[in-house]
Amino acid sequence: MAVTPAREIAFEVLRRVEGEGAYASDVLHAELGSSIKATDAALATEITLGVLRWRRLLDFLLDRHMKKAVERLDLPVALALRMGAYQLRFLERIPARAAVNESVELVKNARKSSAAALVNAVLRRFAEEKGSPAKKFLPANVPLADRLGILYSHPTWMVARWLARFGEARTTALLEANNRAALLSCALHNEGSRDDVFRGLEEAGLRIRPGRLLKNAFAVAGGSVARTPAFLAGAISIQDEASQTVALLLGVRPGDRVLDLCAAPGGKTHMLARAAGLKGLVIAADRHAHRLSAMQSQFDRLGLRGAHLVELDATGELPFRGTFDRILVDAPCSGTGTLARHPEIRWRLRRDQLAEFHALQVRMLCMALRYLAGRGRLVYSTCSMEPEENEDVVAEVLSQSPEVQCVPASEAAKMIARYLAAGVSASDIFDENGQFRTFPGASQTDGFFAAILQMA
C-alpha cells in the first residue's frame, strides 16, 4: 500500500523537527512547493502541527496500550504512532483504516518493519476508544497543573507558572488558544489599494476578515496567500497583527535614522523603512547571514530599497559612530507567545532557559540604549508571555539607566490611536504603565510584549 504525499511530507517534517531541531514552519514552507496539491498541503500541515500540539496527550493515550512508553521508541515508530493517533482522535473525515494502514506503511518505509505489527495493533486498540473523553483515563487526584498539562498537551512546569500568574480560567483559555490553528494575518501596505487587493484575493478563493487590532490588517483563510498576485507584487505581507503593532509603536518619522537591531525575518523592518522614507536611514541587523539573505529576498519582493543589512552580534559593541532617532530591539526570546504558530517550542523550552534569555536581553537592551539619540525613542519587544523576559528586563535596565524612562500610557495611546481598528481602544492593548501586551485567544494574535523607552 502506497503512502499518500500528505502523510509522507508530514512524516518527514516531523522527523526533522524532532530529530534535527528544525522548525516546522520552515520545513513545511520548503516541502510544500507549487507542485504539491492544495489538498495535500493542507492535510500535511494539519497532521504536522496537530501532532506537535497534542504530543503529550497522544503519548498519554497511546501509552495505555503499550509496555514501553512512546517517547522511548525509535523516532520513526513514535512518529507513525502519533500521526495515526492524531488522525483517529481529531480528524473525523479520515477513515480509521487509512490512518492505521498508512501509519504501518510509514514504519515499513522507514526500515522499521519489525515494529509494523506493534503500530497496527496499538492503533487498532486506540481507534476503539477514540470517542471517549481523555479525562476519563486520568488517575484520580491528579494535581491541577498535571491535569491541564495532559488534557491540553503542555509541559507541567509551564502550566504551573501560568496558573500562578493568571489563575485557572485564564490559563485554560491560553492553553486552548495555543491548540488552535493560528490566524493567517496580513498587512496591507497601501490603503488606497484596499479594494483592488481584496477583490483579487477573493477571486483567488480566499476568505477575508477585518483586522482585530489595526485598520490596515486583515486575516485570510481558504487558500495560499503567497501564491496570489497581491503578495507576489508586494502589495501585502503575511504578519501577525501584534507584530505589526510593535513596529508602529516606534513612531518613525520621515527622515529618521532608524536601527532595527534584531531584524530577521524583516516584517517590522519594511514598515520602519516605509515610514522613514527616502530621506531616512534604516539599518537592519541580525547575527545570521542566511537570515539576512532571506530578508533581502523579501525586500526585493516588496520593492524596498531603503534598508541597509548588517551582520552583527547585538550583545557586543555595535559598529556605529552616530546615534539613532528610533531603535527597535525585538529581542530573541522563549517564544511562549507563539505556541499556536510554533507548537514545537513547548517541548524544547526548559525552565532554566528563561534566566539565560533574561541575561542576554538585558545586555542587548543596555547596548542599544548607548546609541539612542537625545529625545529619541526605543521599543523593546518580545513574543514571550514570561515576566523574566518582559517587565523584569525593562525594570532592571531602567534601574541602571536613570536617564531613561518609559513613555507614559497616555502618550503611548495617542501614538497608536490613528492605526487602531474601529472599536479598539488603547486601553485594550496597553497596561497602566504604558506597556503593550496581547494575550492569545483574547486578541486572536500572538502573545507580544513591548515597552516604549525614551531619554528623560
Q: Which residues contact 19 (CB under 8 A, 6 or more apart)?
A: 75
Grid look-up 500568574 returns: 165
Helix (H) or strand (E) holding 202: helix 194-203
- CA–CA separation, 9 vs 48, rounded Å? 9
CA 17/CA 27 separation, integer angstroms: 8
Residues ≥6 apart with Cβ < 8 Å to 386:
161, 334, 336, 354
Long-range contacts of 363-366 (CB under 8 A, 24+ apart): 363/315, 364/261, 364/262, 364/314, 364/315, 364/329, 364/331, 365/329, 365/331, 365/393, 365/394, 365/397, 366/397, 366/400, 366/401
Pairing assessment for the beta strands 207-210 and 257-260 based on DSSP bridges: unpaired
Look up 383 and say whether it is catalytic: yes
Decide: 448 and 437 in contact? Cβ < 8 Å.
yes
CA distances from 45 to 8, 131, 268, 389, 425 (A): 11, 23, 26, 30, 35
How many residues belong to the chain? 456
How many angstroms separate the CA atoms of 299 and 429, rounded? 29
CA angle 25, 188, 451 (to 5 degrees): 75
Angstrom distances, CA of residue 31 to CA of 6, 185, 186, 240, 294: 10, 22, 22, 23, 17
Which of 186, 333, 383, 406 does the annotation list as catalytic?
383
Looking up cell 503578495 gives 231
Catalytically annotated residues:
383
